[in-house]
Amino acid sequence: MKIAVYPGSFDPCTNGHLDIITRAARVFDKLIVAVLVNSHKTPAFTIEERMEFLRRVTRNISNIEIDSFTGLLADYTMQKNADVIIKGLRAVSDFEYEFQMALTNTKLNPSVETLFMTTSTANMYLSSSVVREVATYNGDLSGMVPDEIRDDIYKKIRRG
């Protein structure tokens, strides 16, 4: 059984994340979406909100687990017996940082491979921070986030 971990902040999850999740779940027996509980950053959404959004938008995918982790991703992949870390690449500018992370994670857990999936062209510009910025000023989020979570994103971060 091949297990993949797709890690991230998912603050909040976007259509770009959902695209990678859907495609990765087709390739692996089990996909664990692992939400980072980050003690250095204050996220816009709580860990419970971020995980609930992910559960809601992936309810039709059977081989998926939504989980959270703290500390090093390499340690988490060891605990979970994961074979692969999935990362989405949007642009060349993502590459340098992701390359460094992949090498670090392999150094710390030599039994895990990092596989990069290219984002769909429709989602190339998307990021959680773009979504938060648009929502703050009541901009149109359609096409950026799954419909089921759009209103909850506005409710939490829209100004005024």
In 3-state terms the chain splits into helix, strand, coil percentages (rounded to 5) of 45, 20, 35
Q: Is 2 a catalytic residue?
A: no
Among 72, 91, 103, 124, binds ligand PNS (CB under 6 A): 72
Phi/psi for 139 (5° steps) reads -75, 170
User: Which of residues 11 and 135 has its CB atom nearest to ligand PNS in the complex?
Assistant: 11
Amino acid (one-letter) located at 8: G
User: Which of residues 95 and 138 has its CB atom nearest to ligand PNS in the complex?
Assistant: 95
d(CA 93, CA 143): 23
Catalytic residue selected from 41, 107, 155, 159 = 41
Of residues 66, 54, 40, the one with CA closest to residue 11: 54
**Interaction mask 84-123, ligand PNS, x per CB under 6 A:** -----------------x--x-------------------
Using CB positions, name the residue nearest to ligand PNS: 8
Question: What residues are paired with 8 via a beta bridge?
Answer: 35
Catalytic residues: 17, 41, 90, 128
Q: Contact positions toward ligand PNS, by CB under 6 A?
A: 7-9, 36, 72-74, 101, 104
